[in-house]
Structure 1
Amino acid sequence: MHIAEGFLPPAHAIAWGVASAPFVVHGVRSLTREVKEHPESTLLLGASGAFTFVLSALKIPSVTGSCSHPTGTGLGAILFRPPIMTVLGTITLLFQALLLAHGGLTTLGANVFSMAIVGPWAGYAVYRLLKRYDVPLMVAVFFGAFVADLSTYCVTSVQLAMAFPDPSSGFIGALGKFGGIFAVTQIPLAVSEGLLTVIVMRLLVQSSKGELTRLGVLLQGKRSATKATETATTEKTATTEETAATEKTTTETGASA
């Protein structure tokens, strides 16, 4: 990823474009609504897009017809949800195809599907799952960015294996070869991207705490207070039960005596 211009068979290129189109349309609507309702988020949206553009431009040669690089989509997915990140990722891929010769127009649909659709959704799902179980924010951010990066290359491996199956072992053999080659460069890149995303999120917590609270990344004061009250109530109930059990035991002991 990015898959190079003209590398995929025409039928595959068209199919991936058709598969990506509904997600992009939905993302455009979500982005339009976000900007209309919260124009103050424009700066953070631009920063998320720039983060993706810069990281995904740092390519390393890998599989023939493709390359390895960070994706940068995890941050935007966590901040603004995957549909909006789909639009930011699509714009990034389009600009890189036109200005940097990374990827291409014929393979835009396939690249969008792997990097701007699957990556953000997978990373966001992991992030939300970890937050549901009260995992610390920065740990959830790290694994969200890590999975967003790595899942992109898993999908790219599938796309290449479908287009170029192994002559003897078919799709499965090709998938093993493409995935194995990608893993050498991509796992370290995914770890690095996760750490970098944590650093950026820490800076945003310091500089844009109000905006992160509105976006739901940070707990609102009311929700935090409610959670603290629930914890205190639970602890108080447990203490009461322990006291009652102790008094009961003391009473029974006295009666026996």
Structure 2
Amino acid sequence: MNEEQLKRLSLSGLAAAVLLMLVPQDAFAMHIMEGFLPPVWALAWWLLFLPCLGYGLVCLRRIVAQDSHQKVLLALCGAFIFVLSALKMPSVTGSCSHPTGVGLAVILFGPGVVAILGAIVLLFQALLLAHGGLTTLGANGISMAVIGPVVGFAVWKLACRAGFRRDIAVFLCAMLADLVTYFVTSVQLGIAFPDPQSGVVGSLSKFMGIFCLTQIPIAVAEGLLTVMIYDQLTKRQLITTGDVR
């Protein structure tokens, strides 16, 4: 019964993802778009992302080997990331912002697996939604699937050890993983495109002013949504507190 419920949730996420594919969307969003980064930076971020993918594969194999039923829950987390990170909301200067959706997977499986889930999501979004790109997938993966989840996981662990209520710990993990993702993206753009007068610092402050501030309400909303999803999974005994990493 529990597995059947998980399958239904995964199918619902897949249906939402298909709907998102069918709706025309502006291609310029917070994922760094195809060809936007200078080649040297695109390559550098790819080289940093590849070892994270290798570690993620090791984590994924270990989780599946321990319990093959976790495949369905992994699929649900992947669908959650796909749907939320494809929801592009108008920001400023003609750009867009979106949630990341990584908090749930970080809590249930740890940050290593999120590198694989995030890479799959970013690949499909680049190919099917013109959201992000292949050359910039390494940079987008580092921000959304590596550094954001690692910070979220650290916050989750610290909050649990500090005795915070479980829902507050979930909220902080999801919210801060989202905000850190946008901070890292701002850094990536700032160092790739330094301001002619104020250099990297000036460029970084401009990108952070555009994206990080407008992302705060979205990050709060994502934190609340993740709390609701986590609460429903625990109420239906699809996960227990012993399942989380």
Residues 3 and 66 in structure 1, CA contact (< 8 A), matched pair in contact too: no
Structure 2 unaligned segments of length 5 or more: list them. 1-29
| Corresponding residue for residue 69 of structure 2 | 40
Q: 1:192-207 maps to which residues of 2 (within 5 A)? A: 192-207=221-236
Q: Quote how far apart the aligned CAs of 1:61 are.
A: 4.3
Q: Quote how far apart the aligned CAs of 1:67 are.
A: 3.5
* SS of residue matched to 2:69: helix
| Corresponding residue for residue 55 of structure 2 | 26
Q: 2:204 aligns with which of 172, 175, 178?
A: 175
Q: Quote how far apart the aligned CAs of 1:103 are.
A: 0.1
| Corresponding residue for residue 9 of structure 2 | none
Considering Cα pairs closer than 8 Å and 6+ residues apart, tell me whether 1 or 2 has the greater RCO.
2
Q: Aligned partners of 2:143, 2:102: CA distance in 1, in Å?
A: 11
Residues 8 and 163 in structure 1, CA contact (< 8 A), matched pair in contact too: yes
Q: Please say which structure displays the higher CA radius of gyration.
A: 1
Q: Aligned partners of 1:153, 1:69: CA distance in 2, in Å?
A: 10
| Corresponding residue for residue 90 of structure 1 | 119
* SS of residue matched to 1:183: helix
Deviations along 1:207-251, one digit per CA (max 9) or x if unpaired, are 135x3344246xxxxxxxxxxxxxxxxxxxxxxxxxxxxxxxxxx
Q: Aligned partners of 1:12, 1:53: CA distance in 2, in Å?
A: 25
| Corresponding residue for residue 215 of structure 1 | 243
Q: 1:156-171 maps to which residues of 2 (within 5 A)? A: 156-171=185-200
**What's the C-alpha RMSD, in Å, of the aligned pairs?**
1.5
Q: Aligned partners of 1:117, 1:176: CA distance in 2, in Å?
A: 23
Q: Which amino acid aligns with 1:152?
A: T
**After the TM superposition, which of the residue ranges 122-131 and 54-63 deviates more from structure 2?**
54-63
| Corresponding residue for residue 14 of structure 1 | 43
| Corresponding residue for residue 149 of structure 2 | 120
Q: Aligned partners of 1:63, 1:159: CA distance in 2, in Å?
A: 19
Q: Which amino acid aligns with 1:215?
A: D
Q: 1:79 aligns with which of 108, 124, 128?
A: 108
**After the TM superposition, which of the residue ranges 30-39 and 134-143 deviates more from structure 2?**
30-39
Tell me: CA distance 1:127–1:164, structure 2 relative to 1, closer, same or farther (3 Å).
same
Q: Aligned partners of 1:101, 1:79: CA distance in 2, in Å?
A: 29
Q: Quote how far apart the aligned CAs of 1:62 are.
A: 4.1
Name the TM-score, length of structure 2 as normaliser.
0.85
Q: Which amino acid aligns with 1:42?
A: K
Structure 1 unaligned segments of length 5 or more: list them. 218-257
* SS of residue matched to 2:240: helix
| Corresponding residue for residue 185 of structure 1 | 214
| Corresponding residue for residue 141 of structure 1 | 170
Aligned residues between the structures: 216
Name the TM-score, length of structure 1 as normaliser.
0.81
Q: Which amino acid aligns with 1:137?
A: R
Residues 63 and 178 in structure 1, CA contact (< 8 A), matched pair in contact too: no
Structure 1 residue ranges (4+ consecutive) displaced by more than 6 angstroms after TM superposition: 63-66
Deviations along 1:3-34, one digit per CA (max 9) or x if unpaired, are 00000000000000000110111001110121
Q: Which amino acid aligns with 1:12?
A: W
Q: Which amino acid aligns with 1:205?
A: T
| Corresponding residue for residue 56 of structure 1 | 85
